[in-house]
Structures are given as C-alpha cells and as structure tokens.
C-alpha cells in the first residue's frame, strides 16, 4: 500500500483527489460536511510538509448544461477554507490558462481547488470515461498524486486512475488508508460473533455483499424494504410494500440454503411512504405498506447484536425520509452505540442517518463510500486503490 507517509512532499505540486461529493439543499447550501472534514488530515499533512496543494473532486452527476449552475464546487471551497482556517483559491475551470497560472503562482502551503471534475462529462464523458488526453493534462499539473477519495475508489475515472497512470508517483491519503484498515475488520477474519445488518431498498445492489458475508457472518439481520422481497419469497402477504422483483429468485434460493437470515416478525405500516399515520402489525394486509421494523423485531435484532464482537451495517431499516418511520433505525443505532463491539457502517444513506441522529462518534467507523465500501466487502479490487 503506497501510503502518503512515503512521499517526499516538500516544494512539490501535489494533486489530491478528494471526495467532496457532499449533499446540497435547494439553496445550494451544504447539508452534511463530513466528507470535507474527513479530508483535512491529508491536506494538513501536505501543508505541514510544505507542498503546494491542488484539489480535484467531483460533485454529483453532470449531464446537462443546467447542472453547471447547480454542481459548482465554489461553495465547497468556501467551507473548506473555514474548516482548515486557510485561504482556498477556487478556480471555476477544469483546465486552461487560468488553472495553469494559478498553479504556477503557488507558494508552499497554498491550496488551489479546481471546478467539479465532472464538468468534463458534458463533452463526451471525459472524466467518467477516463479519457487519456484529460488524464494526461491533469497529471501534467503536478509532481505527485494522492488519492484520498474513497467514495469513488470503485470507479476508474480520469481524476483518479487516469492521473495515477500518467504521473510518476502516486500514493493513498489518510482517509483511504483509514477506510481500508477499518473495512478490513469486516473482510479479514472478523471477530465473532459477527452480525450483519442489511436494509435499504434494493436487494439487487447487495447480492454480491450478501453472498460474501453469508459465509463469514453468524447472522444477517434483514430490515428495510429489502426484507419484503425475502418475506414475499417465503410466500407471505406483503401488501403494497416495496419489492425487488429481479431479486426474487435469488432470495428464494438463499432462504433454502441458509438459516442465517433473520427477517422481521412485525412491521410499522402506513398507506404510503408519505403516510401521516402508522400502526404496528405482525401480518400485512393488501393495503398495508411496511415502512419500518416493528417493536418485536427491534428486540429480536437486539438479542442478536448484544453479544456481537463485530457488526457491519448497510441500509436504513425503514423509510427514514419520513420521520414517523425512522424509529426502528434510531433504536438500533442507539443500541449499537452503547455496545462494546466493532461497529462499521457502510456509507450511503445509513451513514447520513446515523450522523444526523448523533450516534456517529460511538461507532468504530462510518465509511464515506457507499458503493466503494460494498465492493470492497464483496472482495473486489478497487481500481482507485490499486494505483
Ligand atoms: P438503498 O439505496 O438500497 O440502500 O436504499 C435506501 C433507501 O431505502 C432509503 O431511501 C430508504 O428510505 C429506503 N427504505 C428503507 N426501508 C424502506 C421501506 N420499508 N419501504 C420503502 N423504502 C425503504
């Protein structure tokens, strides 16, 4: 593993690929700056080691001209400057003379941030397609490359793999190293009992994870909409609950071959995701939509979690966008936060929910990468790490 600590940074122009893909509200304000905070260690290290720092990141998907207005990194540069207590020069371009002049005028410890790398996607998906002309250009702006964007490490884009393959020296930043170290507590001989919690909506996205973890885990507790595909596969009435049709056969086969899957025994139901009322049921009727795990299920899940030595959690246990269906997720998060166990959260929606609920500090690790953490746990090699 090529750690940043092996790099000779002094006087060098260091390109750092960070993950500033942060959520913005309709007023283009940052609603969760965790990813910016998580990048500070690497940037501060480069400042202390007298490097010139060039930051690259993507923000959301850029498909149409109008995205150029709503997906600018300017707001992120401002927030970073406040957090790091140093000026950050934002260049509203991804290439060209303005970029080159700004970089040529840098002194040691200066920070320059370029515009959203995916602005290059408007012209033939140059960033996401790892266009070599673009990758070579970005690589030419610096002496050393550091990848610290864990959230995109499962993708081979011009701003990570592309730069790495066109520059002399590439290293991994502290955030990526921390992610690998913590997620390996799940992938490499997790301490037993090892309990996995899976929720969210799509079984399909998590089939690889389930196949891998079912061999290692003692039990997999299934909640969220995902549970209804399994319950339907068992022949139960799931009313109007969400179902992932494409994964039905997978669920049926899995249920036949393992008794490690623990499914909900009661449900908080409403008439739709926007429901203003709720009730608890053990069996769903045709008009019911299961939107959270019920109180008996919470107790059942806790009975498996209480003696665990390792927990991996991906996916909310209910439709947490509607406050009245977040209780199951909250109760389980609170319970885990008081356990003496290794607790790892695999990014995405679950991370945001746990951070917003205020339990983040009590977890061992909350990953900054949803897709990347799942692929790592599936046992795949991530191109952004193998640089
Ligand atoms: P995923 O991307 O597959 O992890 O799914 C996350 C989404 O699943 C979030 O938007 C959750 O609100 C949603 N979700 C969780 N439980 C349910 C449920 N019972 N019914 C509908 N959506 C749910």
**Does residue 310 contact residue 341 with C-beta atoms inside 8 Å?**
yes
Residue 339 Cα to ligand 1 midpoint, Å, equals: 25
Q: Which of 321, 313, 308, 324 is nearest to 359 (CA)?
A: 313
Structure tokens of 366? 């909350």
Q: What is the pLDDT of residue 349?
A: 84
pTM: 0.92
Nearest protein Cα to ligand 1, atom 1: 200
What angle is formed at CA 164 by the lines to CA 161 and CA 166, rounded to 5 degrees? 110
Q: What is the pLDDT of residue 348?
A: 80
278 lines ligand 1 (CB under 6 A): no
Domains contained in the chain, CATH given = 2-172 (3.40.50.1260), 179-378 (3.40.50.1260)
205 lines ligand 1 (CB under 6 A): yes
Q: What is the pLDDT of residue 32?
A: 86
Beta bridge partners of 146: 16, 171
Dist CA 104 CA 34 (whole Å): 31
Tell me, letter by letter, the H, E, C secondary structure of the chain.
CCEHHHCCCCCCEEEEECCCCCCECCCCCECCCHHHHHHHHHHHHHHHCCCEEEEECCCCCCCCCCHHHHCCCHHHHHHHHHHHCCCCEEECCCCCHHHHHHHHCCCCCCEEEECCHHHHHHCCCCCCCCCHHHHHHHHHCCCEEEECCHHHCCCCCHHHHHHHCCCCEEEECHHHHHHHHHHHHHHCCCCCCEEEEECCCCCHHHHHHHHHHHHHCCEEEECCCHHHHHHHHCCCCCCCCCCCHHHHHHHHHHHHHCCCEECCCCEEEECCCCCCCCEEECCCCCCCEEEEECHHHHHHHHHHHCCCCEEEEECCCCCCCCHHHCHHHHHHHHHHHCCCCEEEECCHHHHHHHHHHCCHHHCCEECCCHHHHHHHHHCCCCCCCCC
- Looking up tokens 């995205």 gives 67
320 lines ligand 1 (CB under 6 A): yes
**Does residue 206 contact residue 314 with C-beta atoms inside 8 Å?**
yes
349 lines ligand 1 (CB under 6 A): yes
Q: What is the mean pLDDT of each run of 10 residues along the chain (387 residues)?
A: 94 98 94 93 98 98 96 98 98 98 98 98 97 98 98 97 98 98 94 97 91 95 97 97 96 96 98 96 97 98 98 96 96 97 91 90 94 92 94
If one residue of 272, 288, 315 were mutated to test the ligand 1 pocket, choosing by the most ligand atoms within 8 A of its CB, it would be 315
Active-site residue, 151 included:
no
> Strand 267-270 relative to strand 194-198: parallel, antiparallel, unpaired?
unpaired
Q: What is the pLDDT of residue 1?
A: 66
């Amino acid at each position: 593993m090529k750690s940043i600590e092996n790099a000779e940074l002094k006087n060098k122009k260091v390109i750092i690929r960070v993950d500033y893909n942060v959520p913005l509200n309709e007023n283009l304000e940052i609603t969760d700056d965790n990813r910016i905070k998580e990048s500070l260690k690497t940037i501060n290290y480069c400042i202390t080691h007298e490097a010139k720092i060039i930051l690259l990141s993507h923000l959301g998907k850029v498909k149409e001209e109008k995205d150029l207005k709503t997906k600018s990194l300017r707001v992120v540069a401002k927030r970073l400057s406040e957090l790091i207590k140093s000026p950050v020069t934002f260049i509203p371009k991804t290439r060209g003379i303005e970029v080159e002049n700004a970089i040529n005028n840098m002194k040691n410890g200066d920070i320059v941030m370029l515009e959203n790398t995916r602005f290059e996607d408007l012209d033939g998906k140059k960033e996401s397609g790892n266009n070599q002309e673009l990758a070579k250009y970005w690589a030419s702006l610096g002496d050393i490359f550091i990848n610290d964007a864990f959230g995109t490490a499962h993708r081979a884009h011009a701003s990570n793999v592309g730069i790495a393959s066109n520059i002399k020296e590439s290293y991994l930043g502290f955030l990526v190293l921390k992610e690998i170290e913590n997620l390996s507590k799940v992938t490499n001989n997790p301490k037993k009992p090892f309990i996995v919690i899976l929720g969210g909506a799509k079984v399909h996205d998590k089939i690889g994870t389930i196949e891998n973890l079912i061999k290692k885990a003692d039990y997999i507790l299934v909640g969220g909409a995902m549970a209804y595909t399994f319950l339907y596969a068992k022949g139960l009435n799931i009313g109007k609950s969400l179902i992932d049709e494409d994964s039905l056969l997978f669920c049926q086969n899995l249920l036949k071959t393992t008794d490690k899957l623990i499914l909900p025994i009661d449900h908080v139901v409403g008439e739709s995701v926007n429901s203003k009322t709720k009730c608890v049921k053990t069996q769903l009727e045709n008009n019911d939509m299961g939107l959270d795990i019920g109180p008996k299920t919470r107790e059942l899940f806790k009975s498996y979690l209480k003696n665990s030595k390792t927990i991996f959690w991906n996916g909310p246990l209910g439709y947490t966008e509607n406050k009245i269906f977040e209780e199951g997720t909250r109760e389980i998060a609170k319970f885990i936060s008081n356990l003496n166990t290794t607790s790892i959260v695999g990014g995405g929606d679950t991370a945001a929910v746990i951070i917003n609920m205020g339990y983040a500090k009590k977890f061992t690790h909350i990953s900054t990468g949803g897709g990347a953490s799942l692929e790592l746990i599936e046992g795949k090699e991530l191109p952004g790490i193998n640089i």
